Amino acid sequence: MTRVLLVGYGKMGKLIAKLAPDFDITIASIVDRDIQTNELPKDAKIFSQLVPEAINGCDVAIDFAEAGDILSRISLFAKCSCPAVIGTTGWDKQEYEAKQIIAASDIGLISAPNFSLGVSLFLQLAGAAAKLFTNFPQYDVGMHEMHHRQKQDAPSGTAKLLATKVLSHYPKRERMETTPVDHALASNAIHSSSFRVGFVPGMHELMFDSLEDTITLTHTARNREGFAKGALTAAHWIISKKGWFTLDDLIIDKLKGHTC
């Protein structure tokens, strides 16, 4: 059994702990600054902050918490030689620094704003569609994402990944413009709108629109299980790796290069 340290025992942390046995994973330690439940995995050690004792005896860490002190958490994983799966979102401005920490360490780290296999395949399809539609200037391109009202970042990390993928095929489009938009959209921008309501686990849409018709590609998460299963799969995969990885690396590894 692989021994995992879970950082963050909220909606995602609890689901990962519930599904862990199906992946031959034991939750050995949990770190949460404010545990709101008695439903804890048997034999897990509980900590209110990330300290070396929480990492001791764990093969890998899975982090679904808040972006605030992410760099100090990554530094400690590196210092304690603990490979890490980072699902926490909203810290892309600190990514460069995080990559330097990992480059100077002996661990592997896989980071993804969306660990679901379906989203990864959706992003592959989106790349292929953008590559096709960029040849037809009569079609404009735009994006929309929707999440539950407690989500703390906008646009979602997945929307940013989607924009990067699409922009790479549109040489005349240089940036993603996010809501609110109170002016005509610049010709070098792609619009990405964000909507927050209720309990939606996540929806991302890519739209190509002409005077005559609309073509949409949509990924709708039905629940959070896809994210949790992806993170548990990544926990096994990252243990033998060294360096910085994204979900694409894992998928390409599994698909043996059959990507768009």
Binding site for ligand NAD (CB under 6 A): 7-13, 31-34, 64-66, 68-69, 87-90, 112-115, 227
CB of 83 to ligand NAD, least distance (A): 17
Q: Tell me how far, at minimum, the Cβ of 80 lies from ligand NAD, in Å.
A: 16
Q: What are phi and psi of 9, to 5 degrees?
A: -120, 55
Q: Which of 144, 147, 204, 229 is catalytic?
A: 147
Q: Which is nearer to ligand NAD, 55 or 141 (CB)?
A: 55
| 3-state DSSP assignment of residue 220 | strand
- Opening angle at CA 187, ends 215 and 114, nearest 5: 55
SS3 158: helix
Given the complex with ligand NAD, which of 105 and 158 has the nearer CB atom?
Answer: 158
* Minimal distance, residue 68 CB to ligand NAD, in Å: 6
CA dihedral angle for residue 194, residue 196, residue 200, residue 201, rounded to 10 degrees: 60
How many residues in the chain?
A: 260
147 catalytic, yes or no? yes
CB of 10 or CB of 243, closer to ligand NAD: 10
Nearer to ligand NAD, 35 or 125 (CB): 35
User: Catalytic: which of 11, 18, 151, 241?
Assistant: 151
Cα(50)–Cα(30) distance, rounded to whole angstroms? 9
Closest CA to 165 of 121, 135, 209, 102: 121
Helix (H/G/I), strand (E/B), else coil: 205: strand
Q: How far is the CB of 64 from ligand NAD (least distance, A)?
A: 4
> 118 φ, ψ to 5°?
-60, -40
- Which residue sits closest to ligand NAD, CB atoms considered? 10
Active site residues: 147, 151
